[in-house]
Amino acid sequence: MRFDILTLFPEMFRGPFEESIIRRAQDKGLISIGLHQIRAYALDKHHTVDDAPYGGGAGMVMKPEPLAACIEHARRCNPKALVVAACPTGERFSQRVAAELSEAAGLIILCGRYEGIDERVRKLLVDRSISIGDYVLSGGELAAMVMVDAVTRLLPGALGSEESARSDSFSDGLLEYPQYTRPPRFRDLAVPDVLLSGDHARIGQWRRREALRRTLAIRPDLLREADLSAADRHMLAE
């Protein structure tokens, strides 16, 4: 999958995309990432990319011409890509949205700054506006990194076999069960006996119960959408 990222701060991406799974996915040829400086598409000699909002009010708005020219250039590099704007007014990002984006032929991600982008660019050239959560960041760059990471993990071959087995367990819509590693006792806290028992059926039941318990305590909203068996519902009712 090809990602094209349109930003006023391309340098922000250099470190994060050179590590770990994203680095390996590029090395394996599963993904490629193009970074585009929106300012390079400004038409005037000062390379202006923002202007005051019509109707007044605080802050500045990203001007339509440089954004449109930059998106159209990225489209030529990535012709069938979906155009996503990262902004706090978009639909909420989730594992489901990541899975949908991972099916796209490519992604062009526009990182907004200031008070946002001129609405006509959104109308004419943006397919989906996406927010990574109900808080305001200084710009869409961190959100774009989150989306690239979550989407890349879903591409076949991006994770080693151990990692993909783990990600499967997320797709059931529950928070993950608690994890432990050695030593068996740490500062008076012991690892639950069942995990040392070698009885994989019991371990599976324990993990499912803990995942349900944790989800009920921390994110009960997830239970509405989760795929629950009769045994799960019985456990929750206890």
Q: Give the binding site for ligand ADE (CB under 6 A).
A: 86-88, 112, 131-133, 135-137, 139-140, 143
- CA 70 to chain centroid, in Å, comes to 23
Q: For residue 134, say whether it is annotated as part of any ligand binding site.
A: yes
Q: For residue 135, say whether it is annotated as part of any ligand binding site.
A: yes
Q: Which of 19, 27, 168, 188 is catalytic?
A: 168
Q: For residue 175, say whether it is annotated as part of any ligand binding site.
A: no
Q: Which of 113, 122, 153, 208 is catalytic?
A: 153
Cβ nearer to ligand ADE, comparing 97 with 132: 132
Q: How far is the CB of 100 from ligand ADE (least distance, A)?
A: 16
Q: How far is the CB of 113 from ligand ADE (least distance, A)?
A: 8
Cβ nearer to ligand ADE, comparing 66 with 116: 116
* Residue 172 known to be catalytic: no
Helix ranges (DSSP H) in the chain: 20-27, 64-77, 95-102, 119-125, 141-153, 161-170, 200-218, 230-237
Q: For residue 232, say whether it is annotated as part of any ligand binding site.
A: no
* Residue 115 known to be catalytic: yes
Q: Which of 16, 53, 88, 178 is catalytic?
A: 88
From residue 164, alpha-carbon distances to 151, 156, 169, 203, 222 in Å are 13, 9, 9, 20, 22
Cβ nearer to ligand ADE, comparing 30 with 114: 114
Q: How far is the CB of 85 from ligand ADE (least distance, A)?
A: 8
Cβ nearer to ligand ADE, comparing 79 with 133: 133
Write out the DSSP string of 47-99.
---EEPPTT--SS-EE-HHHHHHHHHHHHHHSTTPEEEEEEEEEEEP-HHHHH
**Radius of gyration of the chain measured on its C-alpha atoms:** 22
Distance CA 103, CA 205 (A): 33
Distance CA 86, CA 191 (A): 42
* Residue 127 known to be catalytic: no
* Residue 168 known to be catalytic: yes
Q: For residue 30, say whether it is annotated as part of any ligand binding site.
A: no
Q: Which of 115, 149, 172, 176 is catalytic?
A: 115
Distance CA 150, CA 30 (A): 14
Which sign, positive or negative, has the C-alpha torsion 122, 123, 124, 127?
positive
- Known binding-site residue numbers for S-adenosyl-L-methionine: 112, 132-137
- Would you name the residues annotated as active-site residues? 88, 115, 153, 168
- Known binding-site residue numbers: 112, 132-137
